[in-house]
């Protein structure tokens, strides 16, 4: 079909199948691309045409249509690791875990290195060391870094053999600590040995695990940690209540609950069965106005940058579910925090450097709150916390300059380390 190669020449963005779906945005000419690709696919097209159509659908936010197109591509060409990988990531966005795992396993059986899909040219190539996991479990740095300046190669490190790698200027350990990450941590440590330290030494990830974070930050004045301990399923019923319980290695509030009595425990274990759970005491951190506040700070080379402040009526605060979009008053308060975080945490300038020193990673984030007694309550620390920009016309556009500060700091850190040194 003669139009096939010319479409990709006109729209090279349509080759970006290994990029985190939220980073794929509409581009000039996308209407023409969709029209031409839809006609080609309706007439019976090669697998790559279906993959490009899926890419268009991702950029339009039509994830169900995108998954159907990419599945067609993967079925037509079972050797296409990129199509299988796209299926895995889109299914993850759609909360279809079984489909996501199946396609991820298939993709990684075909290849473990996904070079930046666009020409590297003058860009600085950075190799991300990643777990065999969805983009949100790793650090999706294509949502933060300027891809006009940096090429992002991805190496999923849990395979036994070391695959051929594209030239890179710097390795970046872009996953956090978890029980399921033990193999990735070992393989990343073996990989960086003798190559010079990457951004984020894998050997330091153990200090930010949920069960070790309290020890890591112990001794920092005015800092408390919502520390967790690992409990076998049979032992959860004997935990002192009320308690916060979640299955080990879950994220974003999945299976996370405050259990008040034995009935709560029984129902929760039945709904979220697991071999082990994190259990911790509930710490009341509600503000005087009855609302709960949780902020995120991102650390780059020891400096803490405020990223967001979420305010909600419930103790389990997530930015996506907090009424920030609906309330201009809450957004004004968040902007005040971003402009001067000392307004929320008066000890910011003293405490944050000590947290950075104790954790010892080059790039990570914390979620925390201010307790009624003035102490900083740290909920978690993670090297793979989500950081992304906002749309210029969105109600959250006021956050853009503060995201830019984090981006600039990280890009400066990478440039300082690499100085265009390619092994």
Strand order through the sheet with 223-225:
223-225, 376-382, 363-370, 292-300, 303-312
**Closest alpha carbon to 13 in 30, 38, 37, 35:** 30
Residues 6+ apart with CB under 8 A from 66: 21, 54, 55, 57, 58, 86, 90
> Which long-range CB contacts under 8 A does 219-222 form with residues at least 24 apart?
220/351, 220/354, 220/355, 220/358, 221/351, 222/347, 222/351, 222/374, 222/375, 222/376
Query: How far is residue 60's CA from residue 154's CA, in Å, rounded to a whole number?
Result: 24
| 126 φ/ψ angles, rounded to the nearest 5 degrees | -115, 130
pTM over 0.75: yes
Q: Are 414 and 126 in contact (CB under 8 A)?
A: yes
Strand order through the sheet with 150-156:
113-114, 150-156, 124-130, 170-173
Residues, the chain: 423
Query: How far is residue 251's CA from residue 254's CA, in Å, rounded to a whole number?
Result: 6
In order of 6, 229, 380, the CA distances from 251 in angstroms are: 42, 16, 11
Query: Distance between alpha carbon 60 and the CA centroid of its chain, in Å?
Result: 21
Beta strand 150-156 pairing with 113-114: antiparallel
Q: Which residue has the tokens 């830019």?
A: 404
Q: Are 91 and 103 in contact (CB under 8 A)?
A: yes
Query: How far is residue 172's CA from residue 304's CA, in Å, rounded to a whole number?
Result: 19
Query: How far is residue 296's CA from residue 311's CA, in Å, rounded to a whole number?
Result: 12
Q: Which residue has the tokens 């925090």?
A: 337
Query: How far is residue 327's CA from residue 319's CA, in Å, rounded to a whole number?
Result: 13
Residue 404, number of CB atoms within 10 A of its CB: 13
What b-and-e string marks burial along 186-208, b requiring 16 or more CB atoms within 10 Å of the CB?
A: ebbbebbeeeeebbbebebbebb
Percentage helix, strand, coil, to 5, in the chain? 40, 20, 40
Residue 350, number of CB atoms within 10 A of its CB: 12
Query: How far is residue 282's CA from residue 280's CA, in Å, rounded to a whole number?
Result: 6
Query: How far is residue 95's CA from residue 17's CA, in Å, rounded to a whole number?
Result: 19
pLDDT, tens digit only, all 423 positions of the chain:
447 778 999 999 999 999 999 999 999 999 999 999 999 999 888 999 999 999 999 999 999 999 999 999 999 999 999 999 999 999 999 999 999 999 999 999 999 999 999 999 999 999 999 999 999 999 999 999 999 999 999 999 999 999 999 999 999 999 998 888 999 999 999 999 988 889 999 999 999 999 999 999 999 999 999 878 999 998 998 888 899 999 987 776 788 999 999 899 999 999 999 999 999 989 999 999 999 999 999 999 999 999 999 999 999 999 999 999 999 999 999 999 999 999 889 999 999 999 999 999 999 999 999 999 999 999 999 999 999 999 999 999 999 999 999 999 999 999 999 864 544
Query: How far is residue 410's CA from residue 172's CA, in Å, rounded to a whole number?
Result: 11
**Closest alpha carbon to 335 in 371, 311, 367:** 311
pLDDT at 373: 92
pLDDT at 63: 98
What b-and-e string marks burial along 150-169, b requiring 16 or more CB atoms within 10 Å of the CB?
A: bbbbbbbbbbeeeeeeeebb
Tokens of 415: 């440039």
Question: Is the omega angle on the peptide bond into residue 57 within 30 degrees of 0, that is, cis?
Answer: no
pLDDT at 2: 45
Query: How far is residue 143's CA from residue 333's CA, in Å, rounded to a whole number?
Result: 25
Query: How far is residue 156's CA from residue 112's CA, in Å, rounded to a whole number?
Result: 5
Angle of CA points 181, 64, 129, to nearest 5°: 25
Measured over the CA atoms of residue 158, residue 160, residue 162 and residue 164, the dihedral's sign is: negative
């Amino acid at each position: 079909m003669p139009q096939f190669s010319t479409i990709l020449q006109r729209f090279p963005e349509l080759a970006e199948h290994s990029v985190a779906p939220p980073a794929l945005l509409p581009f000039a000419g996308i209407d023409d691309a969709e029209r031409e690709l839809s006609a080609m696919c309706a007439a019976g097209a090669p697998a790559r045409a279906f993959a490009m159509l899926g890419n268009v659908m991702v950029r339009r936010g039509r994830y169900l249509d995108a998954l159907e197109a990419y599945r067609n591509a993967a079925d037509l060409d079972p050797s296409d690791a990129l199509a299988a990988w796209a299926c895995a990531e889109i299914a993850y966005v759609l909360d279809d875990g079984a489909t996501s795992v199946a396609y991820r396993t298939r993709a990684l059986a075909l290849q473990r290195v996904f070079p930046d899909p666009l020409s590297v040219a003058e860009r600085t190539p950075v190799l991300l060391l990643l777990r065999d996991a969805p983009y949100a479990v790793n650090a999706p740095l294509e949502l933060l870094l300027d891809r006009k300046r940096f090429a992002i190669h991805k190496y999923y490190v849990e395979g036994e053999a070391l695959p051929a790698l594209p030239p890179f200027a710097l390795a970046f350990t872009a996953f956090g600590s978890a029980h399921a990450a033990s193999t990735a941590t070992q393989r990343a440590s073996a990989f960086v040995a003798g190559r010079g330290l990457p951004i984020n030494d894998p050997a330091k990830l153990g200090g930010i695990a949920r069960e070790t974070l309290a020890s890591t930050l112990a001794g920092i004045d005015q800092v408390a940690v919502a520390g967790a301990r690992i409990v076998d399923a049979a032992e959860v019923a004997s935990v002192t209540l009320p308690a916060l319980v979640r299955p080990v290695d879950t994220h974003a509030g999945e299976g996370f609950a405050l259990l008040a009595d034995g009935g709560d425990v029984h129902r929760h274990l039945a709904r979220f069965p697991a071999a082990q759970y994190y259990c911790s005491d509930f710490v009341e951190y509600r503000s005087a106005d009855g609302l709960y506040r949780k902020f995120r700070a991102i650390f780059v080379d020891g400096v803490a940058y405020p990223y967001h402040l979420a305010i909600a009526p419930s103790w389990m605060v997530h930015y996506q579910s907090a009424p920030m979009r609906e309330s201009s008053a809450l957004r004004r308060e968040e902007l005040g925090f971003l402009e001067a975080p000392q307004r929320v945490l008066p000890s910011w300038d003293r405490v944050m450097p000590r947290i950075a020193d104790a954790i010892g990673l080059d790039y990570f984030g914390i979620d925390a709150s201010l307790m009624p007694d003035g102490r900083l309550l740290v909920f978690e620390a993670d090297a793979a916390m989500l950081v992304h920009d906002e749309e210029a016309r969105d109600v959250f556009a006021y956050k853009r300059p503060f995201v830019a500060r984090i981006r600039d700091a990280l890009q400066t850190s990478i440039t300082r380390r690499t100085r265009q040194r390619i092994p």
